[in-house]
Structure 1
Amino acid sequence: MQDSTILSGRTAVTLTQLRRTLTRQIHSERADHVVHGVKTVITALLTWAVVAPWAPDSQPYLAVATAVLMVNASTVYQSVTKAAQSVVTRIASLVLALVTARLLGPTVGAVAVIAVIAVLAGPRRTTDDRLQVASTAVIALTATATDPMGHLLSPVLQTLTGAAVGIAVNALVLPPLYLNESDSAVRDLAHALGTLLDDMGTGLARRQLTSNAHAWLHQARNLDKRLTHAEEQVQQADESLRWNTRCVAHTRRKDTTSTGTDAFRVLRGVSIQVRGIARTLADSAHDDHTDHHLGQQFLDRYADALQLAATAVQGFVQTRPVTDTANASPRERLRTAIDGTLTWHHTMTDMIGQGRLTKPGAWHVYGSLMTDVERLLTDLDRGDMHRPSEPTPREATFNAERV
């Protein structure tokens, strides 16, 4: 009865945390949509006001389209690179149209020449770039034939002006940051790794190796999706800090940039060891050679190690004190878990060395499992040593407001 009460309490706490997380995500998404909408409207109106007075027939549609594209780039850095790419592509296509119109006129032959030149533009240009050059050149072919210079300069100037306005608005009006998304992806990855380690430890303690080994291996292989997602989020977060005016005034910019990347690198190494453990357990569980099977005494002790490792992995990215250990900082909890697992590892190594646990035919299995745990701990230990110290109240305020 007491156990049921405890489990119900934990479930209620988990559901409450989940509801709060979902609520924060919904509010954050709505705020992002509002910001994007406001920035887009400001950019379109400002570009129209700047370009309309001198645009042909007072129609600055090209400038507005370019500006809207730049202001909706995912990062300030991308808005700059996209602007440069757009301007170069526009100039190349218009020059191509001008030269072709001078030589062949607006004919079918000119269109064919433009298509051939665009295809053979060179291996350094991507397929999308070549197609954009070709399509823009074909559209501009007739215009450049009737008024070459006027229809060459106006689109270029509109593209330059629209790009400049879009970049300025994107950089100065709440430039996008993706630090929270990166942190969330890294925490989710750590949670998945820790959960799998804990599941394996619990299963070994309950003598469920044979029945659950393949399920653990399947879960370990599915970690690749989380790894890819976390890597993409971390890269986007690092890119969002480049040339970002919201970070110029903060001295912890470099620390903020590297923390998520360093944590992901550590967890990527941990995931390799977790997958190795799952693979070794699955192979051992269904090995036809009975002398290769692991001893139950070892499995019972290895179960403890996996559960300690699970606590260490999840504690590696923990940023808030847990209610039942409010007096311990995240780093102290991590160090406790690592030290406990290291003590277990030394004890087991001595027992295996003395021949108290091993079967002669299973020495390679013991060695593989022990090596994977040792490497996992080494990755966490080294990553913890290179982590910045606990944030001061002022730094914590910045971290909370960086969205």
Structure 2
Amino acid sequence: MQDSTIQLERTPVAMTEPMRRLTGRLRTKRADHVVHGAKTLIAALLTWGIVAPWSPDGRPYMAVATALLMVNASTVYQSVTKATQSVVARVAGLILALATARLLGPTAGAVAVIAVIAVLAGPRRTADDRLQIASTAVIALAATATDPMGSLVSPALQTLTGAAVGIAVNALILPPLYLNESDSAVRDLARSMGTLLHDMGTGLSRRQLTSKAHNWLHQARNLDKRLTRAEEQVRQADESLRWNTRCVAHTRRKETTFNDTFMALRGVSIQVRGIARTLADNAHDNHADHHLGHQFLDRYAETLQLAGAAVQAFVESGPATGSPDTSPRERLRGAIDGALAWHDTMTDMIGRGTLTEPGAWHVYGSLMTDVERLLADLDRADTH
């Protein structure tokens, strides 16, 4: 009865942390949506108020559209680069429309010339810009025929004004940062790698190589998805710090994006996949003398468990349970040192011929090389 009572008391505690993280993410997303909507409304109204008094017929639609595009950019850096590209493309389209209207008039021939020049000219990598030039030129073609200079100057000024307002609002009113998303993605990647390494170690110690090797390989290959997501989040977080006024105000540094940590984990993921692949191949090898011996598996299992603990400790922000006085760096250092000690022991056993499966030397070599590189990546990152 006492054991049952303890179990019932612990269950809600175990569920508290995931629920807390989920609630925090929902609140953050809701707040982001509110800020995003407010910034969009401010940019639209401010642009309308600035441009409407001097725009034709008091309808500054092009300015508002440009402002909305800039304020909705994912980062301040993106808003500036998109503004530059948009302004250049629209001005080029207006100039193209003016030139063709003067030469050919608002005719089908002018549209054909615009299509040929805008779509076929220039490198392929600027296809979006060329299409924007063509669409702007075609829309402005009729207007340039009746009022050439007015139809060129007014849209150009509207585009410039809208871009300036959109950039200003995006940069000054809570400019977007993606540090939390970056950290979360990198931590998720590290936890997945650490869990897989620990599972492989536990499975080897329990003689479950044949039954679980295929599943380990599948999980290792699925790490690519988490790796891609983490890389994108780190890149976006890195970019969100460029020209960001919130970073200047809070002196937030570029290192907070976990960029170095991600680079280390990307190298580790290669070794994790290599270990899983070697174990899967060995599990289904029909040559009896190629199978790994129990003595090696026991040693290697503990090495993988220590390596898994090292990977997980690599991104832990708080002390582990039962070790409140141990910092994440100390736990990482301890896990790496423990794994290196086992690595040296196994290397010595192989060198002295203690392991009795001569046909499996190539498997031993592959597994030892992968774990050695894995530990070297972690050790190098920890030193830095």
* Alpha-carbon distance change, 315 to 112 in structure 1, aligned in 2, over 3 angstroms: same
Following superposition, the deviation at residue 127 of structure 1 comes to 2.0
Match for residue 294 of structure 1? 292
Question: What are the Cα deviations for residues 157-206 of structure 1, in whole angstroms up to 9, with x where unaligned?
Answer: 00000000110111111010000000000000001101111111111111
Matched, 1:208 2:211: no
Question: Which residue of structure 1 aligns with residue 71 of structure 2?
Answer: 71
Residue 327 of structure 1 corresponds to which residue in structure 2?
325
The match for 2:350 is 352
**8 Å contact from structure 1 (residues 276, 372) kept in 2:** yes
Q: TM-score, normalized by length of structure 2?
A: 0.96
Please tell me whether the aligned partners of residues 97 and 144 of structure 1 are also in contact (alpha carbons under 8 angstroms): yes
- Residue 317 of structure 1 is matched in structure 2 by 315
- Mean Cα displacement is larger for which, 185-194 or 335-344? 335-344
Q: What SS does structure 1 have at the residue aligned with 2:148? A: coil
* Aligned amino acid, residue 237 of structure 1: A
The 1:324–1:169 alpha-carbon spacing in structure 2 relative to 1, beyond 3 Å, is same
Structure 1 stretch displaced more, 242-251 or 211-220: 242-251
The normalised TM-score by structure 1 is 0.92
Q: What's the offset of the Cα at 1:240?
A: 0.2
CA contact (8 A) 1:102 1:145 kept: yes
Query: Match for residue 397 of structure 1?
Result: none
Residue 256 of structure 1, CA deviation = 2.4
Q: Deviations over 1:49-96 (max 9, x none)?
A: 111111111111111111111111100000000000000010111111
- Over 3 Å counting, the alpha-carbon distance change for 1:5 and 1:207 in structure 2 is farther
**What is the match of residue 281 of structure 1?**
279
Q: How does 1:43-62 map to 2 (within 5 A)?
A: 43-62=43-62
- Shift in alpha-carbon separation, 1:193–1:9, aligned structure 2, 3 A: farther
| Residue 109 (structure 1) aligns with | 109
Q: Equivalents in 2 of 1:26, 1:189: separation in Å?
A: 21
1:138-149 to 2 correspondences below 5 Å? 138-149=138-149
Alignment partners' CA distance in 2, 1:53 and 1:265: 53
CA offsets per residue over residues 306-343 of structure 1, 9 Å max, x none? Answer: 11111100000011123322111111111111111111
Residue 122 in structure 1 maps to residue 122 in structure 2: yes
- Give the deviation of 1:299 after TM superposition: 0.8
Could you tell me how far apart the structure 2 residues matched to 1:96 and 1:356 are? 80
Give 3-state SS (helix, strand or coil) of 2:245's partner: coil
CA distance in 2, matches of 1:265, 1:3: 45
- Structure 1: distance between partners of 2:161 and 2:117: 28
Is 1:374 paired with 2:356? no
**Contact 2:97 / 2:144 at 8 angstroms: preserved in 1?**
yes
Q: 243-252 or 143-152, which moves further after superposition?
A: 243-252
| Residue 13 of structure 1: how far off its partner (Å) | 4.2
Can you give the 5+ residue segments of structure 1 that lack an aligned partner in the other structure? 387-403
One-letter amino acid matched to 1:287: D
Is 1:39 the counterpart of 2:36? The answer is no
Are residue 237 (structure 1) and residue 237 (structure 2) matched?
A: yes
The partner residue of 2:341 within 340, 343, 346 is 343
The 5-angstrom pairing of residues 183-222 of structure 1 reads 183-222=183-222
Structure 2, unaligned runs of 5 or more: none
SS at 2:207 equivalent: coil
User: Following TM superposition, by how much is the alpha carbon of 1:121 offset from its aligned partner in structure 2, in angstroms?
Assistant: 1.9
Residues 352 and 358, structure 1, Cα contact 8 Å, conserved in 2: no
Q: Detail structure 1 runs of 4+ shifted over 3 Å in the superposition.
A: 1-14, 249-252
Any conservation in 1 of the 2:238–2:254 contact (CA below 8 Å)?
no
> Deviations 1:223-254 (Å, cap 9, x if unpaired)?
11111000000000000000001111444514
Q: CA RMSD in A?
A: 1.8
